[in-house]
Homo-oligomer: A and B are copies of this chain.
Amino acid sequence: MHIAERMQGVNGSAIRELFKLLGDPEIISFGGGNPAKECFPKEDIEKITDELLRDKSDVLLQYGATEGYLPLRKAYIEKILPDLGLTAELENVLALTGSMQGLDLICKVVVNPGDVVLVEEPSFLGALQTFNIAQAKLVPVPLHTDGIHVDELEALVREYRPVMFYTIPTFQNPTSWVSGIEARKAIARLAAEYDMIVIEDDPYASLRFSGEKLPTIKSFDTSGNVILMSSFSKTISPGMRVALCCGNAELIRKMTIAKQSADTHSPNLNQAIIAEYLNRDLLPEHIAEISKVYAHSASVMIEAMEEYFPDWVEYEKPIGGLFIWCTLPEGWDASELFKKAVARKVAFVPGVSFFTTPGKGNNTFRLNFSAEPEERIRRGIRTLGDLLKETAEEMK
C-alpha cells in the first residue's frame, strides 16, 4: 500500500494509546487529561438536550453551516470573549469539532511542508503530532516555570522566521506553567513584527485555583495574527467535541473552506447544547464549582507527593489547570518507570512525548489530578513513591 510521506514515522499519540488502559478500572490513571465525571453538568445537559430535540430537531438533524451553529457563535461572542478582553464579529469566529480540529485547519491554511513552526518545549503532544503530519519543521522554544522568556523567543523568531508559534500561555500542557503579562504583550508584538501566526490555545485558563486572571495574548493583538482557540472540553464535556476559535476574518474564511473538506460542519446538536448552556448563564457558576474540586484534588496530590515522593523529584504546586509536571534526576528514564508503574496499576504520561528535541525529557513525566477520586490519588501517589525509591535503590 502506498503511504504518503507525511505519515512516515508518525506513530500515533502516546496518550491515545494510554487511553486504552483506562478501560481497566483497576488502573489508577494519572495519564490523560480527563475531567472528573462528577464535574460534568449532567442534569443541565439532559434538560437542555431534551428541550432542543423537542423544539428544534428539524434544524438540528439537518445539514448545518460550516461556520458553525449561529446561536453558538453568537453566544461565544457575547458570553465568552468579553471576559477575555475581546470583541469579535461573526466573521472572526469559527466553530470546531474540538480545538484539535482548529490546529489541523490552521496547518492546512498556513503551513507548507518544511515551514518552521515554533513550539514550547515541552508542549501538548497532540499538537506536536498535528504539526508533524503537516510536515512542519518544529523548532522548540524553552519553557520555564515562569513561562516563555521573550529574549529566547525573539532570537528564535529572528533566526528561523517561523510561519507560526503555538503556545498555551495559561496552565500549559504538560507543565501547568503560566506566561506572564509582559511575555503576552511581547508575543503579540512579535506576531505583528514578523508576520507570524500565533496560536493561543486556551483550554485551561478558566480552571484557576488562585492568583489573578491574566489577559489573553489575543487581547494585545494589533496585527490580527493571533488566533485564540477556546475549548469546552475541560469545562463542560470533552465527549461533545465543541470548541471555537477567534481570529482575523481572512484566516477564519480560509479555515472555513478547509473545514468544508474536513467534516463539512460540526454536529449541530452538540453545538446547540453548548450554546444553550452558555445562554442560560450556567457556565460561570459551574466553572467556580469545578475549579474548587480540581484545586482540592491538586492539593491532595501535592500533599501525597510531599509525603511519599523522594525529595529529589522536582515539581511545582499548580495554581490552575489539570497537571503536575515532574522532573527526575538526569539519567532516569520515565518510560521504563511507566512500565513498572502500569504493572502496579498506576499510569501517567512519560514526558518524552512532549519534547521535540530528540533524547530530551526522558527524565520527566506528567501527572493528571482531575480524573481520580481522593483516595485513589493518595494510593496511586504512594505506589509511585515506593516505585521511585525502589528504583533509586536498584540504580545505586
Contacts and interface: CB of A to CB of B under 8 A. Distances in A.
A61 B41 CA distance: 9
A317 interface: no
Contacts of A188: none
B111 A4 contact: yes
Please tell me how many copies of the chain the complex holds.
2
A5 interface: yes
Nearest to A59: B239
Given A1-B250, A240-B61, A12 B112 contact: no
Interface size class of A (residues with CB under 8 A): 35 or more
A13 B54 CA distance: 32
Interface in A64-92: 64-66
Contact of A260 (B3, B16, B240, B256): B16
A149 interface: no
Nearest to A113: B113
A125 to B, nearest CB: 10
Contact of A108 (B54, B133, B237): B133
Interface string A254-275: 1011101111111111100000
Contact of A257 (B10, B109, B257, B260): B10
A238 B62 contact: yes
B63 A54 contact: no
A350 interface: no
A109 to B, nearest CB: 5
A104 interface: yes
Contacts of A101: 262-263
A12 B257 contact: yes
A264 B97 CA distance: 9
A34 B63 contact: yes
Given A19-B63, A263-B97, A254 B7 contact: yes
B264 A163 contact: no
Contacts of A2: 110, 115, 163, 195, 197
A42 B37 contact: no
A261 B129 contact: yes
B42 A62 contact: no
A97 B195 contact: no
Given A5-B112, A269-B269, A264 B62 contact: no
Nearest to A257: B12
A54 B163 CA distance: 47
Contacts of A64: 239
A117 B133 CA distance: 20
A40 interface: yes
A63 B225 contact: no
A7 B108 contact: yes
Contacts of A13: 257, 260-261
Given A2-B195, A58-B40, A129-B260, A267 B239 contact: yes
A126 interface: yes
27 contacts: A1-B197, A2-B110, A4-B115, A6-B112, A7-B108, A13-B257, A19-B63, A19-B65, A20-B65, A37-B58, A46-B50, A46-B53, A49-B49, A60-B239, A61-B239, A62-B239, A63-B233, A64-B239, A97-B263, A97-B267, A100-B262, A104-B261, A126-B260, A133-B258, A239-B269, A241-B263, A241-B265
Interface of A: 1-7, 10-13, 16, 19-20, 32, 34-35, 37, 40, 42, 45-46, 49-50, 53-54, 57-66, 97-98, 100-101, 103-104, 107-113, 115, 126, 129-130, 133, 163, 195, 197, 224-225, 233, 237-241, 248, 250-251, 254, 256-258, 260-270
